[in-house]
Amino acid sequence: MLKVKINELKKGDVIAEHILNSEGQVLLAAGTSLTDKTIGLLKLWEIHEIRVREEKDTDDDIRLSLQFDEIVSKNSQLFDKIKKIADSDSPPVEELPTIFNKKSTQQYHDISDKFSKILFDLPQTKNIMPLTVMANIICHYAATTVGVLAYTLKREITPSMQENLANHSISVAIISAKIAKLLGHPEEVIHTIALGALLHDIGKIKLPETIFHKSDCQSAEEELQYQSHVQAGYDIIKSLGLPREANLILLQHHEYQDSSGFPLHLPAAKIHPYAQIVAFANFFDSLLHEKDTPPNFFAIRKKLTQEGATKFDTAIIDAFDHYLESFVFNVNVELNDGRTAEVVYNHPFYMSLVVRTANGEFIDLSKNKDLFIAKLVV
C-alpha cells in the first residue's frame, strides 16, 4: 500500500482502506476505483492523503488495512450509548431504532386481517376504494416506520392459503413502497406501486392450494397452471378502472431483465420500471419464506446482489442493499456456535459484519471463517 497526497491522486487509483469520517462511518469503501468525482469529494471532505493499492498488494493486505481496532472502538461507544437508551425506563422513540415491538406487530396483524377480506371479496364487490385506503396506509408505513421490514421478517407461513396470500401481498407492497421512496419517486407514484403490489398475486385465488407456490409444482403441466395466475389476476382487475401502471405491475411482476421470466419472457426494455420494483420485492419476500426454517437474512442479502444481478435493475438492487446496510445495525442474531450477538458494524466492501456477543466480545466475521450468522433473532 502507498500513501498518496490528494493532489497527486489520479483516476483509476484503488483505495486500499476505508475512508472514515469522525464518527467511524464509511465515506468511501476500500477497493473503490477513484474517479474525478470521488477525488473531488475527498478534497471537499478536507482529507489530505489516503492509502492506495499497489500492484503487489493482495486481498489479505487490503483486508488487514480496515483499521479494525479503531472501528470497534468507535462502534463500541455507539453501542453502549444505544444500550443505555434501550435499558432506560422511557426511551425516546426517535432515538431507539428498534424494528420489533408489540404495538407495530399488532398493527400489522390488524392490517392483514382487513386486507384478506378486501382481496378475496374484490372479484364480487369490484370496489377499489378499500384498496386505495390500504395503499395509503402502506405508503405511510414506508415513509415513517424505522423498521419497515419488521412485518416481512416476522410473518409466518400458515396452513391457510388465504392468510398467506394476504400476508405476502402486504409484505411485497411494503417493500415496494420503501424501494420506490428510496429511489426518489413522488408520493402519487409510490401509491400506484403499492396498489399494484397489493394486487400482484390476486390471480392465485383461482389456483388449487396444492400449487400455491412455484416450488410446489411437480410437473410441466402444474408449472403452466401456476403461471396462469398472472392472466387470471388480470382478468379480475382489468375492468376496475385502476391506473394503467398498476395493471402492468400485475402482468409483469414475474418478468426479469434477462428474459427468463414469465409469461411473456420480456426483455428489460419492455418491462415497466414500476413492475421491476415489485418483481424485486416479490423475489426478496419469496427468498425469506421459501423454507420452513427461520430465514438467514444475511445469506439472502448476498443472493439478492448475486443472483439478482441479471434479473433486476442495478439501481433497485443498490438502493435496497444500501438500505439493508443501515437496517442490520443493532440487530440481534444467533451465530452458528449458538451464541447470541448484536451487529455493530458492516464492512460495505466485503459484505461482512462485526458483531458483539452477549459477554462483550467483538468478532469480525470477515476474519473468522469458522463463524457465521445462522439466523436473525426476533
Q: What is the pLDDT of residues 314-363, one digit of tens each?
A: 899 988 887 776 666 567 788 889 998 887 766 654 456 778 888 888 88
Calculate the alpha carbon distances from 285 to 40, 149, 341 in Å: 39, 10, 25
Which own/partner pairs from 180-187 qualify as long-range (CB within 8 Å, at least 24 positions apart)?
A: 180/142, 180/274, 180/277, 181/142, 181/143, 182/319, 182/320, 182/322, 182/323, 183/277, 183/315, 183/316, 183/319, 187/139
Q: What angle do CA 96, 357, 294 make, to 5 degrees?
A: 75
For the entire predicted model, the pTM comes to: 0.68
- Segments of the chain assigned E as strands: 2-5, 19-20, 26-28, 49-52, 332-335, 340-347, 352-357, 362-364, 373-376
Which residue, among 352, 359, 356, has the nearest Cα to 29 in the 3D structure?
352
C-alpha cell recorded at residue 74: 468507535
Measure CA of the first residue to CA of the last residue in the chain; give whole Å. Answer: 42
> pLDDT by residue (tens digit) across 214-234?
767 788 898 899 999 999 999
- % of the chain residues with pLDDT over 70: 75
The secondary structure of residue 214, as a DSSP letter, is: G
109 pLDDT band, cuts 50/70/90, is: confident
Average pLDDT over residues 164-178: 92
Average pLDDT over residues 225-249: 95
- How far is residue 29 CA from its own chain's centroid? 20
